[in-house]
Amino acid sequence: MAFVSAEDAEPGVAPPDADATAVYRDSAGQVMPAPGGPHAESEALIGCTPESGHDNPHRSGTGVAVSGHGWWKKGNCDSDRANVINCLYEWYTDNSWRQKACSPTKELRPYTGSGDRTVARRDCHSTARTSWRNHVDVDVIGEIDTAEKPYRQADVDCRVD
């Protein structure tokens, strides 16, 4: 697939090989380090390994918007608190994932099935089918933990730009 320049790129559905060379851009359009893979759970050399929880990006139940949630479970960590943030990325035809929304960082207890999660949400400009990723970052309070930011990806009938 031929990609276009960053200036001429448009949102769309990501091709199957998008991960091989895709770049990430922050909300200002600057290239940033890739946040991590879909199953980037790794063993900590020291410290603990929390379970990073994240759902597929999806249309919000309220209004025409895309949403994603983040949460955590203790894994082998001792602490019962973590700072959690999740961010949504929209795919563009220049083979980039562009950050469109991040939740506020919240101090959360381990997830039990209700509450205790973050939400990133962005209103759609159209309902054109577009690929989205929801990355979550968990920082366990008072412990060294893994640095992964795993994601879920889905095609959603929501386009921001």
For the chain, strand residue ranges (E) read: 23-25, 31-32, 51-54, 58-59, 65-73, 82-92, 96-102, 106-108, 118-123, 126-140, 151-159
Pairing mode, strands 106-108 and 51-54? unpaired
Give tens-digit pLDDT for 20-54: 678 999 988 899 887 765 544 444 456 899 999 99
Average pLDDT, the chain: 88
Give the number of other CB atoms < 10 A from CB of residue 19.
Answer: 14
- Set out the domains of the chain in order of their start, with CATH numbers: 18-159 (2.60.40)
**Percentage of residues in the chain having pLDDT higher than 90:** 66
What's the confidence (pLDDT) of residue 42? 45
